[in-house]
Amino acid sequence: MRPFVLAPLPAYTLLVHVVVIGAGVFGVWTAHHLRDAGAEVTLVDAYTPGHSRSSSGDETRILRCGYGPDRVYSEMAHASLAQWRALGVRSATALWHPCGVLWMAAGKDPYTDATRRTLQECGYPHDVLDRAGLQQRFPQIRIGDAHGAPGPGVDAGAIDMALLEPECGVLLARRAVRTLADELSTRGVRIVQAEVAARGSLRGAIATAAGRHLEGDRFVFTCGAWLPRLFPDVLGGRIRPTRQVVVYFGTPPGDGRFQSPRWPAWIDFPAGIYGTPDIDGRGVKVGIDEHGPPIDPDTAERIVDGASVERARAWLARRVPALADAPVLESRVCQYENTSTGDFLIDRHPEQANVWIAGGGSGHGFKHGPAIGERVARMVMAGEPADPRFALEHKTADARRAIY
């Protein structure tokens, strides 16, 4: 299989003005690569880059390369990691915590076995930990009673093995998006706060809700949960925004066991729970990786329900008993914007040749921002066709999640 390598984009002598709508992680990295290619770029957002309503707006995001058999995502994540690190160096800003990422599995899990094989084939560092190795490496974790292959009635709380990616870790999400947006403004990218309306043909300009017009030759929509509202005929049912909850729990005073780098980011695959270590004193983050109810990204009240907090706390009591009674320091309602399988949508609009759409982050998109921005820039500037896996024609209205 051909490795994920993109040749440098050519710089164009003919000035092309591209308007990017949506200043989340997909938008800022798309603007970055378009600017590298020599385009004039306007970046538009109804709020501000990395705002709290966006899918990019929380404090932290996990970057891992393990994706079951889906090597394309492993390679995109690995390629993106280098660009995330470079952004931190250029900006002299702490954006990256290489605390490692721990994937915990129960029984003879095929997805975990496929992840191990993909990491091995790609040459990405990883440690395979059996129960004894996991307990020795991270004694804070209660792994539960041993059992064999999963089946009816099996204790879903038991962990039989884990994969640790020691060179992966946690990105400071909101800070990273804002840092790149600040850099873009110094490179001549115009950043505009405006709500847009994608009605009619976008020939030379896009209208704003305030009655203004933003001129451009080509348009890229990277506005996440707002995409189905902007393109109801094309994306209605194909992208579904859902309400997601994360809770930050405080650690005991004087106890550094749950801070980066002593404590990794993790995914408890059987439980559907993920989280990050205590970074910047915000507490240990516990997230529920299960598609929640529908959400309106503009009007939804971002108040966490008690049932979600209790579910997160119950997970801590079972898996990390030292935090069983930890106080809640913060909680957030975020959102996923899901495609039918969890694959991204990166394609040209079917009826407007100068319009492209990049979305469908599906809860795992943030880490891939640099690679997605690079793909979009090649499509917009060099005419590269959509990868069939990310093409609109393969997005359906059913929900059959396959990407984790």
The 218-221 sheet, strands edge to edge: 190-193, 40-45, 17-21, 218-221, 355-359, 345-348
pLDDT of residue 3: 40
Tens digits of pLDDT across the chain (404 residues): 334 344 454 444 458 999 999 999 999 999 999 999 999 999 999 999 999 999 999 999 999 999 999 999 999 999 999 999 999 999 999 999 999 999 999 988 999 999 999 999 999 999 999 999 999 999 999 998 765 444 333 344 689 999 999 999 999 999 999 999 999 999 999 999 999 987 777 889 999 999 999 999 999 999 999 999 999 999 999 999 999 999 999 999 999 999 988 899 999 999 999 999 999 999 999 999 999 999 999 999 999 999 999 999 999 999 999 999 999 999 999 999 999 999 999 999 999 999 999 999 999 999 999 999 999 999 999 999 999 999 999 999 888 788 88
Residues 150 and 26 in one domain: no
In angstroms, the CA 79 to CA 196 distance is 32
pLDDT of residue 145: 74
pLDDT of residue 400: 79
Residues 262 and 331 in one domain: yes
Query: 219: which 2 tokens?
Result: 């348009």
Residues 220 and 361 in one domain: yes
Torsion sign (Cα): 153, 400, 21, 67 = positive
Torsion sign (Cα): 394, 338, 292, 64 = positive
Domain enclosing residue 368, as ranges: 17-58+173-239+340-394
Instruction: Domain count for the chain, please give it.
Output: 2
Of the candidates 293, 316, 337, which is a domain's last residue?
Answer: 337
Residue 153 lies in a domain: yes
pLDDT of residue 55: 95
The CA distances from residue 350 to 255, 271, 346, 354, in Å, are: 55, 39, 12, 10
Residues 253 and 138 in one domain: yes
pLDDT of residue 1: 33
Residues 244 and 375 in one domain: no
Tell me, what CATH number does 185's domain have? 3.50.50.60
Residue 79 lies in a domain: no
